[in-house]
Amino acid sequence: MIRGVKGTRSEERVFYRLLRMASISISPKLIITAMKLVKRHPLLALVNSYLIDSPAPSNLSYLWNFGSLLGTCLALQIITGVTLAMHYIGSVDLAFSSVEHIMRNVNSGWLIRYLHSNGAGFFFIFVYIHIAKALYYGSYRAPRVLLWSIGVVIFLVMIITAFLGSTETCLKWLNMISSH
Ligand code: HEM
């Protein structure tokens, strides 16, 4: 047991069992040092308190992973979106050529564009599953009414952003084609 840290006995046992299941042999001393570090280091303790020691209801399933998956999608969309915007030109005359330029000349430009467009698709698939889970389990009821309402606002902002993003490229192209 790690002295001075409350409730570590059962956690240690679970940890050992996991290691044994994975056929990993690490000296108990090393494990105790690592656990001490994780629980006492100012930053690691904060991460640990949210990600590992945080008490959670036992009925949570894999469906609760979609929230963090959505956060990952958001980060991906922002990073690839900003990178695309560095090479995209939002004018009727140059929009098409700048996309061609991204696809052909920019290093990994094709990859960034496909990540952004597929990322947008997956973002919506995940948000629908996320919302369906909240509806099925009644997560929109008290005490989560404000959380749900903020979710509705986020959903609207997502729809508007995706609409603006796709029209930015597609309508400019159409406009260009029709004006020629
Ligand atoms: C960018 C979009 C979003 C992100 C990053 C996000 C993130 C999260 C995260 C991390 C959680 C906790 C883990 C989980 O239950 O999955 C969560 C829970 C929740 N989210 Fe979202 N969310 C988003 C959109 C939405 C939308 C559009 C709604 C509803 C209209 C919504 C409603 C909820 C509700 C009700 C919960 C609580 C679920 C429960 O505890 O049973 N979220 N969200």
Q: What span, in angstroms and rounded, lies between the C-alpha atoms of 155 and 178?
A: 33
Tell me the CA end-to-end span of the chain in Å, nearest whole number: 77
Are 103 and 110 contacting, i.e. CB atoms less than 8 angstroms apart?
yes
Other C-beta atoms within 10 Å of 67: how many?
14
Binned at pLDDT 50, 70 and 90, residue 176 comes out as low
Nearest protein CA to atom 29 of ligand 1, as residue: 151
Inter-residue contact 115 to 76 (CB < 8 Å): yes
User: What's the pLDDT band for 115 if we cut at 50, 70, 90?
Assistant: very high
Q: Which residues line ligand 1 (CB under 6 A)?
A: 64, 66-68, 70-71, 74, 127, 130-131, 134, 137, 139-140, 144, 147-148, 151-152, 154-155
Residue among 15, 41, 38 at smallest CA distance from 28: 15
Query: Relative to the CA of 69, which ligand 1 atom is closest?
Result: 5
Query: What pLDDT score does 42 carry?
Result: 96
pLDDT at 92: 83
CA distances from 3 to 7, 32, 39 (A): 10, 10, 12
What CA–CA distance (Å, rounded) separates 121 from 152? 18
Instruction: Give the pLDDT of residue 17.
Output: 79
pLDDT in tens, 16-42: 778 888 888 778 788 888 888 999 999
Q: Reply yes or no on whether the pLDDT at 91 is more than 90.
A: no
Q: Tell me the two tokens of residue 51.
A: 């990600």
Distance between CA atoms of residues 100 and 75, nearest Å: 25
Give 177's pLDDT tier (boundaries 50, 70, 90). low
Alpha-carbon gap, residue 133 to 67, rounded angstroms: 10
Higher local confidence (pLDDT), 171 or 106: 106
Residue limits of CATH 1.20.810.10 in the chain = 62-179
The pLDDT of residue 171 is 66
Check if CATH label 3.40.50.300 holds for domain 62-179.
no
- Find which of 7-11, 19-23, 31-35, 139-143 is predicted with most confidence, using mean pLDDT: 139-143
| CB within 8 Å of 17: residues ≥ 6 apart | none
Q: How far apart are alpha carbons 108 and 178 in whole angstroms?
A: 31
Reported as a single tens digit per residue, the pLDDT across 43-85 is 999 999 998 888 888 899 999 999 999 999 999 999 999 999 9
Average pLDDT for the chain = 89
The single-letter code of the amino acid at 1 is M
Give yes or no for a contact between 112 and 131, defined as CB atoms under 8 angstroms apart.
no
Identify whether 57 is preceded by a cis peptide bond (ω within 30 of 0). Answer: no
Q: What is the average pLDDT across 75-100? A: 93
Ligand 1, atom 8, lies closest to the CA of 67
Q: What is the pLDDT of residue 93?
A: 87
Nearest alpha carbon, ligand 1 atom 13: 67
What is the spatial distance between Cα 85 and Cα 34, in angstroms, rounded to a whole number? 43
